[in-house]
Each structure stands twice: as C-alpha cells, then as structure tokens.
Chains A and B, each alone.
Chain A
Amino acid sequence: MSKPSTVFEKIWNAHVVAPAQDALSVLYVDLHLIHEVTSPQAFTGLRQRGLKVRRPDRTVATMDHSIPTTDPSLALTDLLAAKQIKELESNTKEFGIKLYGMDSPSRGIVHVIGPELGLTQPGMTIVCGDSHTSTHGALGALAFGIGTSEVEHVLATQCLLQRRPKTFEIRVEGRLSPGVSAKDIILALLSQIGVGGGTGHVFEYTGSAIRALSIEERMTICNMSIEGGARAGMIAPDDTTIEYLSGREFVPKGKAWDERVEKWRALKTDVGAEYDRSISLDADKLVPMITYGTNPGMGMRVDDCVPDPSKAADSSKRAALEKALKYMNLQPGRPLLGLPVDVVFVGSCTNSRISDLRLAASLLKDRKISPKVRMLVVPGSQNVKREAEREGLDKIFKQAGAEWREAGCSMCIAMNGDQLEPGQYAISTSNRNFEGRQGKGGRTFLASPLTAAATALKGVITDVRTILNEKNSHLILNFEL
C-alpha cells in the first residue's frame, strides 16, 4: 500500500525522468511558455551551441511585457522594446515555435492566455521565464518560474534539473463576505507569512473557501504564491476545473476528452497525506485588504491604521518598516481610508480576466470616477477584451472616465510607457508594490478590483463595503464567473 500523497507529490513523481546527482531530479516539462523579455539570451545561447528546440510542439510564445496597450498599428516608439519584440518574432520563426504575436487575435499576458486557450491542464508541469508562472497551478498543474539559463535548458532538452521542494498546505475554510474577494485571501495570507514565508515550499490551497472559488479567482491566489516566496502554488482539480476547460481550443475532444477527464479526477490529495507545514485561514473573518508598504507582505485590513515602526518586533523589522513608510510617504498610526490616489490600475496577470473586469464594471456602471484620478483598465488578453466588449463593459469603463486599453502587462511592470510619475500614488490590482515597480518613485497600493474601482469612484482609498448597495450586492454576489 503506497503512502498517501499530495497532488504535488503525484505530479512531481510522474515527471521525474531520472534521478540526478545530490538529490536533484531531471524533471520533464509538459508546457514551456515564452515571452519577449526573458527569452532572447536563451535563444542566442541555443544558436551558439548549434542546438534545436527539442519540442517546439510543447513550446508557446506570446508578447506581453514591453508591448504598448495603445493602438497596435502604431509603430513602437521604444526602440529597445521594438528590437526585443522583433527578436522574439525571428527566434520563434527560426526555431519553429508557435507565437501569439502582435497580429494575433489571441495574444495577451502569458499567464492569461495559457489557461484561456486550454494549454494549461491539470497534472502538467509548466514553466516560463516569469515568476508568476505559479498562476497555472490554479488548474492543478505544477507551474513555476525559471531564469533565462533554465529557459535555454528547457528549450534544448525539455527538462530541468530540480531539487524537490517541500509542501505547505494553506487551508481556507468558510465563506467570503460581500466586498471580499480572492485577492483579499492572498493578501491576507501574505500579511501573515511574509515575503519569505514560503521559501523552499510549494503551496497547496485547500478548504471549502478555495473549492467555492471560480478558476479565475483561484488564478489570482496561485499567481501571488511567489510573493510569499513559494516555488509554486496549486489547487487540486475538481468539477470547476473540468467545466472551465471543457471546449477550450487545446483540450482533447470527444472520447479523448472523457479519458483525460478521468485522469484529472484522480488527481487529488489523498486522505491522510502529510504536508511539511500548514496554516489555516478563516474566510468568514476576512475583509478587504490593502498593502501599505513596499513588498506584498506589508498588507493590512483596508480599515486599519498604518503600523507603527516603534512597535515592531525587532530592530530589523523596524528599519524595514521605517524605510517603507518613508518611501510611501505615509504616517504611522494613520488610516489609509480617505487617502487621495492619483492612478487606478485594473490589470495584470493577477486580476485582468473577465470576472475581474465584471467586478470593477459592476461598481462603475452609470457612475463617474473622481476627476482627480486617472484610471487604466487593461484586459489580460485580446480574448478577454472582446468578451468584455460583447458585454458592454468597455462602454461602462469609458463612460465612467476610465481608459480602455489593449491587452498587455502594462502598468504592473511599467516597461511599455504605462507608468507612474515619481511620487504618484496608485491603487493597483497587480502583484507587486516594490519601490519603483510601477515607475521610478511611484507608490503602489495593492488591492482587489472591487477596492480599486471603489477608490476610483471616490478618488481616495475606499472600503468597498461602504458603497455596496442593494443593487450592487446582488450583482456582485451573483455574477457568473
């Protein structure tokens, strides 16, 4: 009788090609995702060694980080970004890799298009030269970020040398209250464990509150697993996963689909399986969250006060908090509610899918954002953009005074001209509030789409629960996600 295993262990064990030296394993990669920023040097390396891509059929490329979110027919003014994009075009052509390029109707942020196209499937190993690859774990895949050298390794061999990580169960039971969303779950977790809390571990999210989430909501949570230092984050597949994937472009059809689904149903964490660590969160107790500092672990309840460095647990925590508050120009002990913001960004691989846009639109319908605020809404893919336009969400955003953009990473990483000016405050549905992340000197508050939209309406940091009325509560709680 074999030992009860977690879904992570099952996927890991199924992908070990061979043991290597020193407890390393050669791990097979089912799907290798590529984007323009972390691949050029890898392809150059391959070319220099005279190597081919071993499995072009398991490799998919897109452009997302440095592309503009304005009219794609306009020439790129950023010459370096233009060169990087051209290089991806020529590399994918040379090595026979499918590219969802600038003229593709399916292009978008790599971690949005993978699941959307049904490329991401339960039980797969998925890698990409991007730390938010953890997103795909929401569909029950083992998905993690790698560096450019490792991108080259995977291109050449379809494998990676890996040390097996430990496991960390994140159990979330209960129900989310109105105004509280998946983003708040992950921000709450990060505020508890900190940005190094998961180092060396793969998170597995379990519990009734996780099971109740849609796939898009699960992606928000898995996306930010890396912010806790985790190697990956995953959620075992279930009926929600199967329903999400049914009919998508790259899943099998007919009898092959039925057979595949049977395999997916078996991909569960066994009763009695043990994790190296575990933590529990009570969803009933969660409220809208916001970050106040300069890493995603520096978060608090939106109605709380900015922590006081003088009360920090030790001198290095105090120094870190002092540095963060200095950068953010925030006073200890003061609430964040009511603080004016300059920019609201709804977008990024964390929260730019159709359900995220619906949530933001539900608050903005027939209303206008504060004239003091610049709001950017950037759909995660061109498919999301078209769906949003079919539902009239673009009109809602534009009539409210927000900018409706083409798909891309945009202001999450500010590589394409969508960025903050020094000193500006932004509330953002993205995943990182590091110093300068959204533009040198820019100051980021991370939050959910609901909190961001509520803030756009008022022009100041706002607790969405205070503006939910009968009409909106109904819409938000019953949206088909």
Chain B
Amino acid sequence: MSHFPPFTSRLVPLLANDIDTDQIIPARFLKATDKLGLGEHLFADWRYLSDGSPDPDFVLNKPEHAGARILLTGVNFGCGSSREHAAWALTAFGFQAVLSTSFADIFKNNALNNGLLPIQLDESAYSGLLKSVNRSSDIQITVDLEREKVTFPDGTTHKFPIDGFSRHCILNGIDELGYLQQFEKQIAEYEKSRPA
C-alpha cells in the first residue's frame, strides 16, 4: 500500500521568484523545540495583516484555493536558510507537492525528507501551466509519484525528475536513517582506516 498514492488537487499559484525560507517561515517561529503548529505560521508575514487577521488579498487566503495540496511557484523556491521548518510548515498546512522550474538545494533535500514533492517542470510545461492558471482559478493537477508524472487540466502529462532512492523512500514510507544504518559495517571500517 503506497504511502504516497496518486492524488488530484487544486493548485495555489504563488508566482514570485526566489521565495526564501524566511518568507515561508519567519525566524521568530523557529524557537519551537517540536514541529507542532507550524501550519499556522506558513508565509506568516504575507498571510496576515498587522492586526493578525488573514489578508483577503493573499492567495493562500482566497476561498477558491481552500484545500489545495499543490503550490505553484517561481524559480529557486526555498532559497536562503536551511531551516527544515519551511518543509514542516508547508506539509502541516496541507501541501503535498510544490511545482516550479527550480528549487534551492537544501530546501529540496528537506522537502524530500518530509514527503513533500518538489516537482521540477521544464520551461515549456511550466509556461503552458501558467497560461491555464491565467485563464482560470480552478486548476486541478494529478500527481503520480509512482509513475513520476503530473497531469495538467488540458490532459497532457509531464514526467518530472526524481531520484529513485527518494521516490522509493516516499512511496514506501521508508526513513533515510534506517537505510544509512545498514552501512554500519562500512562506516566502522572507514573509521578504522583513517588516522584520528
């Protein structure tokens, strides 16, 4: 039974480039010693007005995007700080996938380690999707991790790159640490072979 079955969901377009992890989860929310409650604080400084009420103009607060599990963003998503809290906040909020043409390295690793799919589209697929987004606010995308593809509203399918190991771990709910621990013998040998 797959831990990440195919799903269809509306997407939320947050079409800024270089969205950094300080925007995804501001530093003042990093004082937690657990992972709880971070969904509340996702994009906090863009999402709420100064009185703490939701900003009706911010895309995440718009009723037509409620329940969306896919985020569509600009290039280099997740740049800046290594805070894994960014991935935790996105998944706590309900996102299962982020669509872009590029992701920052550390964020990409953090996302994969938390079952949040960073789906890299090529330029033409991305601009095609943007056209659909500009025409309608109700865009449904199907994400199939097992087949490594997404299906767009126009019926076209697009393969996305994902390394086999991450795909295997997410589909099977396997933890990377469990895999690393299998290398105990080699790690011990390596340590013996090195001077202190």
Q: Which residues of A contact B (CB under 8 A)?
A: 17-18, 20-24, 26, 28, 37-38, 40-41, 44, 49, 54, 65-66, 78, 80-81, 83-84, 87, 129-131, 145-150, 152-153, 156-161, 163, 165, 195-196, 199-200, 227, 229, 231, 295, 297, 316, 319-320, 323, 413-415, 432, 434-437, 440
Contacts A20-B165, A28-B190, A147-B110 given; does A413 touch B76 at CB 8 Å: no
Within B144-196, the residues touching A (CB, 8 Å) are 163-165, 168, 176-177, 179-181, 183-184, 186-187, 190-191
Residue of B nearest to A157 (CB): B180
Decide yes or no whether B23 CB sits under 8 A from chain A: yes
Do A149 and B110 have beta carbons less than 8 Å apart?
Answer: yes
- Provide the bound-state CA to CA distance between A297 and B79, in Å: 12
Do B180 and A159 have beta carbons less than 8 Å apart?
Answer: yes
Contacts A21-B165, A26-B187, A78-B31 given; does A157 touch B181 at CB 8 Å: yes
- Provide the bound-state CA to CA distance between A291 and B114, in Å: 34
- Provide the bound-state CA to CA distance between A66 and B27, in Å: 10
- Provide the bound-state CA to CA distance between A199 and B100, in Å: 14
Do A432 and B80 have beta carbons less than 8 Å apart?
Answer: yes
* 5 A–B contacts from the bound complex (CB under 8 Å): A80-B32, A147-B87, A149-B177, A199-B104, A199-B105
Decide yes or no whether B14 CB sits under 8 A from chain A: no
Quote the shortest CB–CB distance from A428 to chain B (angstroms). 14
Quote the shortest CB–CB distance from B96 to chain A (angstroms). 17
- Provide the bound-state CA to CA distance between A444 and B8, in Å: 41
Contacts of B55 in A (CB 8 A): none
Decide yes or no whether B61 CB sits under 8 A from chain A: no
Residue of A nearest to B162 (CB): A22
Quote the shortest CB–CB distance from A31 to chain B (angstroms). 13
Contact among A22, A26, A129, A145 with B183 in the assembled complex (CB-CB below 8 Å): A26
Decide yes or no whether B62 CB sits under 8 A from chain A: no
Q: Which residues of B contact A (CB under 8 A)?
A: 16-18, 20, 22-23, 26-28, 30-35, 45, 74-76, 79-85, 87, 102, 104-106, 109-110, 113-114, 163-165, 168, 176-177, 179-181, 183-184, 186-187, 190-191
Contacts of A129 in B (CB 8 A): 82, 84
Do B45 and A22 have beta carbons less than 8 Å apart?
Answer: no
Contacts of A163 in B (CB 8 A): 163
Residue of A nearest to B168 (CB): A21
Contact among A17, A18, A145, A161 with B82 in the assembled complex (CB-CB below 8 Å): A145
Contacts of B23 in A (CB 8 A): 434-436
Contact among A41, A320, A435 with B17 in the assembled complex (CB-CB below 8 Å): A320
Do A22 and B165 have beta carbons less than 8 Å apart?
Answer: yes
Contact among A22, A165, A437 with B22 in the assembled complex (CB-CB below 8 Å): A437
Contacts of A165 in B (CB 8 A): 105
Do B22 and A41 have beta carbons less than 8 Å apart?
Answer: no
Residue of A nearest to B50 (CB): A422
- Provide the bound-state CA to CA distance between A4 and B175, in Å: 37
Contacts of B184 in A (CB 8 A): 157
Kindly list 20 other residue pairs between chains A and B, CB separation below 8 angstroms, not including A129-B82, A323-B16: A17-B183, A18-B183, A22-B163, A26-B180, A28-B191, A84-B33, A87-B33, A131-B81, A146-B82, A148-B84, A150-B113, A153-B180, A156-B177, A157-B180, A157-B187, A161-B176, A199-B102, A295-B79, A316-B17, A320-B16
Do B113 and A84 have beta carbons less than 8 Å apart?
Answer: no
Do A436 and B45 have beta carbons less than 8 Å apart?
Answer: yes
Contact among B30, B87, B177 with A153 in the assembled complex (CB-CB below 8 Å): B177
Do A432 and B22 have beta carbons less than 8 Å apart?
Answer: yes
Contact among B20, B84, B179, B183 with A149 in the assembled complex (CB-CB below 8 Å): B84
Residue of B nearest to A55 (CB): B191
**Pairs A-B, 6 closest by C-beta atoms:** A147-B84, A196-B76, A80-B31, A40-B33, A147-B110, A145-B82
Do B31 and A41 have beta carbons less than 8 Å apart?
Answer: no
Quote the shortest CB–CB distance from B117 to chain A (angstroms). 16
Report which residue of B33, B74, B81, B184 has the largest number of chain A beta carbons within 10 angstroms of its beta carbon: B33
Quote the shortest CB–CB distance from A455 to chain B (angstroms). 24
Contacts A22-B165, A44-B34, A316-B74 given; does A196 touch B110 at CB 8 Å: no
Quote the shortest CB–CB distance from B118 to chain A (angstroms). 12
Residue of B nearest to A323 (CB): B16
Contacts of B87 in A (CB 8 A): 147
Do B180 and A161 have beta carbons less than 8 Å apart?
Answer: yes
Contacts A129-B82, A156-B177 given; does A195 touch B165 at CB 8 Å: no
Residue of B nearest to A440 (CB): B45
Contacts of B183 in A (CB 8 A): 17-18, 20, 26, 157, 159
Contacts of B83 in A (CB 8 A): 37-38, 147
